[in-house]
Amino acid sequence: MIAAEVAAVLDGEVGFVLAAKVGAPWSGELAIGAVAPDGVALLDEPMIGRMRLDPTEVEGEVTRSLGELHRRQEVFGSEAPQVADRVVVVADDGVATGATLRAVLGYVRRLEPRRLVCAVPVGPPATIDLLAYESDEIVCPMQPDRFRAVGESYDSFPQTSDAEVIALLGR
Domain with 68 in it: what CATH number?
3.30.1310
Q: What is the pLDDT of residue 161?
A: 77
- Give the Cα-Cα-Cα angle 69, 35, 136 (nearest 5 degrees): 120
Are residues 149 and 86 located together in one domain of the fold? yes
Q: Is the CA virtual torsion 62, 99, 40, 93 positive or negative?
A: positive
Q: What is the pLDDT of residue 153?
A: 76
Are residues 150 and 89 located together in one domain of the fold? yes
Task: Say how far apart CA 123 and CA 2 lie, in whole Å.
Answer: 14
Q: How many domains does the chain have?
A: 2
Q: Which domain holds residue 116?
A: 2-16+82-154+161-169
* Cα-based distances in Å from 49 to 22, 32, 42, 52, 63: 15, 10, 15, 5, 19
Decide: residue 159, CB within 10 A, 0-12 exposed, 13-18 middle, 19+ buried: exposed
Which of residues 28, 45, 76 is at a domain's end? Answer: 76
Task: Say how far apart CA 115 and CA 100 lie, in whole Å.
Answer: 20
Q: What is the pLDDT of residue 158?
A: 65
Are residues 10 and 89 located together in one domain of the fold? yes
- Give the Cα-Cα-Cα angle 112, 15, 127 (nearest 5 degrees): 70
Q: Residues of the chain whose pLDDT is less than 50?
A: none
Are residues 7 and 51 located together in one domain of the fold? no
Are residues 44 and 125 located together in one domain of the fold? no
Are residues 90 and 150 located together in one domain of the fold? yes
Strand ranges (E), 50-106: 87-91
Q: What is the pLDDT of residue 117?
A: 96
